[in-house]
Amino acid sequence: MWWPRPALIGLILAVLSASGGCRKTGRDRELNVIWETGVQTLDPNEKFEFVSDTFAMNVFEPLVRYDRQMAFAAGLATSWEIRDGAVWRFRLREGVRFHDGSRFTAADVAFSIDRLRAHPDRDIHRYVSAIKEVRVVDPFTVDVCSDRPAGLLSVLSFVYILPKGTVERLGEEAFFLAPSGTGPYRVADWRKGSFLRLEAYAGHWGGRPGVPAATFREMKGNDAMWTEARRLAPAIIFSPARTTWAAHRDDSQFRLVERPGLAVTYLVLRVSGGADNPLSDVRFRRALRAAIDPQKLVTALSGEGAFPASQFVPPAIIGFNPGLSVPAFAPGAARRLLDEAGLQRVRPLRFLTVTGGGPVSRELLAAFGAAGLSVHEESVSAEEFERRSTACDTDLFMSGWICSTGDAGELFEGNFYSKGTQGHACGYASAEMDVAVDEIGRTLDPAARRDLLQQAMKRLVDDLPWIPLVVSYDRHALTPGVEWTTRADGQLDLRDVRLK
């Protein structure tokens, strides 16, 4: 799952705090969520990135979901089984209603999945493209058919179910102004670019959640976030910036917590262009990696919490290959590799960054310069960065990925499977990788699947279409009176928050 592109180098900034005015107690107290990157759409299946999913998981529900320990748990499906090696049969939860009062049935499941299959422009389409058919067996049983069924449970964990009848009656444009889901919270108000207010849904099948309401506020300026959190307490600041985090370590008005996260930062390389592009040569890509001192990257992030990345997922993800290690930095190694490949003199490379840069991008520029490489930084606005990075209109840029499904197959199929809609592969295609992804998708045995994922990870690290950089820690700041059991995937499920 992509991190929000306007905040690719840092993590998402969000604050949960109570609305202003007189202090309230008990169930009447509210939270406000203040973050740097707001929700861009109320269609939960339009974007596949962290902020959209944070909103979606509180308002909508999938068939199956991941719990805090990244294990499968029941969502709108109460049970599931594989049939004939190619069909997942789901038994659905009965008695569930959408926020608009309509009843949830198998027709809503088929409608929601088929809607995504019909939209190749959607981020999630590349994942559901493996689904061949969705069959309604009866009002509370549905079959999902695929010739690559192994990863479908993970895929369906981020396909949120919509009310078929309401969407068709209102039309999509009108429906998504105030959409109706089955989740524990409903949309109360939305002002794009400003705030999104959610209210607890009393009719949720799991019972009314403990936090009665939460307002997610989009706010620029790191210092302003801390000020607002203090003013609007009780609050949680979600992934504050490195410098402000360090400045508040001894602040009695906040309790700081951190844990190793699932987010991996990497350098994307545009490998298309053939012989005219030095990045199309794997020897050049390996020289780039050899120029980087991983420990200096961690030092540059001092106070933020990070460790060097040996590959594209952290140890907690299925598919992490323990046989891959972080290369030891050797001064001069990059120059020697370039000399051996005859690639000493190449055209200057363009390195796209967001205005203001960051400690990692500055360290990378210094490292490439020390290796004798000509790399020109192109610093642009967040909007321009999003446009150009999406189009791969540059040579290098930093990004990040969170395998929110807990399985590396998400990463492979979403970015390096040339038979589907590619993500940020930026020209990378490998017949061997395509074969590996197909085999992974057909392998249901957990141990065999893990082995295949690890083999694919090694292949990808050998090819280096991206250069893994660091694994970041999740960081949060809580005001007094807030209790929050954080999730392994870093997501914010409001049901995990308690107010004293």
Find the range with the poorest average confidence among 52-56, 252-256, 417-421, 428-432.
Answer: 417-421
What gap in Å lies between CA 315 and CA 323, rounded to an integer? 11
Which of 227-231, 396-400, 412-416 holds the top average pLDDT? 396-400
CB 209 within 8 A of CB 495: yes
pLDDT higher than 90, residue 283: yes
Find the range with the poorest average confidence among 203-212, 231-240, 416-425.
Answer: 416-425
For residues 182-203, average pLDDT: 94
Find the range with the poorest average confidence among 50-54, 218-222, 380-384.
Answer: 218-222
- How many other C-beta atoms can be found within 10 angstroms of the C-beta atom of residue 470? 23
What the chain holds in terms of domains, given with CATH numbers, is 1-59+183-254+479-500 (3.40.190.10), 61-165 (3.90.76.10), 261-473 (3.10.105.10)
For residues 113-124, average pLDDT: 89
pLDDT tens, 10-35? 332 232 233 333 344 444 578 887 78
